[in-house]
Amino acid sequence: MRATDQGDRANSIFQPVGVSADYARPPAGIDPDREKKWWRRIVPLLRARKWPFVGAITLSFVSLVLQVLVPNLLNQAIDKSIQARSVPLSHYVEWIFVIGIAGGIAGFSSRWLLFRTAYDFEFDLRNLIYEHLTAMSFSFYDRSQSGQLISRANSDIRSVQMYATFAPLIMVQCAIGVVAFGFMLAISVPLALIAMATMPILFWVGMRMRKVMFPISWVIQARLAEVATIVDENINGVRVVKSFAQEGHEMNNLADASEGVAWAYVKDSDIRARYTPAIQNLPQVGLAFVLLFGGMMVIQGHLGIGAILAFNAYLLMLQAPFMMLGMLVMMGQRAAASADRIFEVLDERPDIVERPGAYDVEHAEGLLTFRNVSFSYGEGPPVLNGFDLRVEPGETVALVGRTGSGKSTIARLLLRFYDVDDGSVSIDGHDVRDLTLASIRGNVGVVLDDSFLFSISIADNIAYGRPSATREDVEAAARAANAYEFVTALPEGFDTVVGERGYTLSGGQRQRLAIARALLVNPPVLILDDATSAIDVHVEQEIHRAFETLLEHRTTLIVAHRLSTITLADRVALIEDGKVIATGRHEDLLLNTPEYAEVLAQVEADVLPLDDVGVDL
């Protein structure tokens, strides 16, 4: 990799770090009106898939109507073909055969369209929530647990999808009872009314079940998310857990959370056990009434035998929808609870947004200006208070201060991970709040002290900020970061897939790959946030020799904790109580600023144990 001077950079075309997604974005979002019921808020997503959805419901209705015709044909066949012998029996057999084929085709098509709609809806909702999560500010993640977010993006979405797509189908099956009731009225009005006498009781039981199911449905989803959070934290922090031999303690935590889930599920089952039998068996009472009163009418000659068989068939046909009514109530309450949890995320608004008319800074020279900056995290105490600093293009400035003095915060404000409470942060005289986020992060590269790597190949990790980079570019960046030798020594070299978060590598190796990743983007401004903290002194010296060339034409902010790192800087800014109290060359500050020597002694004492141990492998 060669150092790119300012003139070359000025002639280049601005390439943002972000890569545009090539998937089709969801055609619609949720209704933003928080006062509406949850199901009305998801209607836009279903409306975007309305034709296959309407087709599925229509064909389902057609299939059920065709099924309803069969008992009526059976009634006529018994009365006219078997008893009266006025119509050939083959006539009704042929009609039933044709209706069966047509109903099967309609049912198959309905199912196919319904499942297609269901998975498209789930795809849209999942991408909608993930897209929203990527737009959220760092402050949102500061207060959110990853396990909770994962639960809402998976199990909660599935609950809403199941109800939103299958509930209408179940409702159609229940509504077909109206058609069946019409046929029963056509046969015998008194017997039809007797058959449906249990329906008001059934409706009351269903509404009662719906009322008591909602709270426990919310508890179930919340406690499942709690379990997911514990599992997620234990997997990510497995090294800490094992280092302190706390497996038993964490198992106790998981057991407690699992017991909470078990209690909620048992409570849910108890509610269903009390109400579902009534919902499922009340239609059987109607069947008994039909047999009792219908049989008396047949004996008295007021009704034919075929009518009794038809009524029985209609009531048996209605049992399936009413058996599913309990499931529908359960699904509805769980979906309502899940939807509320999803909307809690989707209704959050990011703190960091681009202003209308935000523009790109395409060819940054690297002039950084912090004017009277004040900042605090949420309701916490001020971290920066009247912070002023100017960094000239091509200059390397080391930020030195005690722990908690706000050094890393300065980098986060420059990248606009957070916005200042007061004052301004500028790049080339442009307030970062007036610039597009992509252009800020395309011009400012950062290497953090926590070197996160993805579970992909080393080459892909290095090329993460510039996916179009050639293998030669990747290898050059690795050489510049002094990572080439250890990478090529691996069995699969640059094609080696690192473990989750890169933990199959040492801390120093991860940091060198993170440095290579930033250098490959070749940004005009580079932030090294304690970027060599996990690298031993000997390797650090080799990286510093590469830095001397790479930083020559690049504006660089170094959050420094080591004297060796500070020597890379042209100038040092001493930070105390959230403001710069002195700036100058390292040697001058040592001679003229007692506070600097004091802070430096403390910082060196803090990192000395790390150097003695030798973290890098």
pLDDT value at residue 612:
45
Residue 265 maps to a domain: yes
Chain center to CA of 336? 18
pLDDT value at residue 540:
62
Asked if the model's pLDDT at residue 147 lies above 90, the reply is no
Burial 385-422 (b: 16+ CB within 10 A, else e): bebebebebbbbbbbbbbeebbbbbbbbbbbbbbebee
> Order of strands, edge to edge, in the sheet holding 555-559?
444-447, 525-529, 555-559, 396-401, 571-576, 579-584
pLDDT tens by residue, 439-490: 888 888 888 777 788 888 899 989 888 888 889 999 988 988 888 888 999 8
Contact 388, 579 (CB under 8 A): yes
Do residues 327 and 452 both lie within one domain? no
Strands 422-427 and 579-584, bridge-based pairing: unpaired
pLDDT value at residue 363:
78
Most confident range, picked from 87-96, 296-305, 425-434: 425-434
CATH of the domain at 461: 3.40.50.300
Contact 566, 572 (CB under 8 A): yes
Residue 416 maps to a domain: no
CATH of the domain at 82: 1.20.1560.10
Do residues 321 and 459 both lie within one domain? no
Residue 439 maps to a domain: no
- Using alpha carbons only, what angle is made at residue 581 by residues 576 and 586, rounded to the nearest 5 degrees? 100
State the Cα–Cα distance between residues 120 and 102, nearest whole angstrom: 27
- Mean pLDDT, residues 275-299: 77
Structural domain count of the chain: 2
Residue 417 maps to a domain: no
Question: pLDDT band for position 533 (50/70/90)?
Answer: low
pLDDT tens by residue, 319-354: 666 666 666 777 887 888 888 888 988 998 888 888
State the Cα–Cα distance between residues 524 and 518, nearest whole angstrom: 11
pTM: 0.69
Residue 388 maps to a domain: no
Do residues 455 and 313 both lie within one domain? no
Residue 21 maps to a domain: no
Residue 183 maps to a domain: yes
Residue 29 maps to a domain: no
Do residues 483 and 340 both lie within one domain? no
Do residues 327 and 472 both lie within one domain? no
Do residues 204 and 78 both lie within one domain? yes
Among candidates 461, 506, 459, 488, which has minimal Cα distance to 613?
506
pLDDT tens by residue, 544-576: 665 665 666 789 898 877 777 787 788 999 998
- Which of 48-57, 97-106, 124-133, 181-190 shows the lowest mean pLDDT across its residues? 181-190
- Which of 199-208, 238-247, 388-397, 496-505 shows the lowest mean pLDDT across its residues? 238-247
H or E stretch including 259?
helix 247-289
User: Percentage of the chain surpassing pLDDT 70?
Assistant: 86
3-state SS assignment for residue 529: strand
Do residues 46 and 167 both lie within one domain? yes
- Mean pLDDT, residues 282-288: 75
pLDDT value at residue 428:
92
Contact 326, 272 (CB under 8 A): yes
Among candidates 23, 24, 29, which has minimal Cα distance to 46?
29
Token couple for 382: 């001020």
If you write DSSP's letter for every residue of 406-466 in order, what string do you get? SHHHHHHHHTTSS--SEEEEEETTEEGGGB-HHHHHHHEEEE-SS----SSBHHHHHTTT-
Q: What residue numbers bound the domain in which 326 lies? A: 38-346
- Which of 8-17, 78-87, 153-162, 221-230 shows the lowest mean pLDDT across its residues? 8-17
Amino acid letter for position 5: D
Do residues 334 and 456 both lie within one domain? no
Regarding predicted confidence, which is higher, 290 or 440? 440
Contact 89, 339 (CB under 8 A): no
Token couple for 356: 């209308």
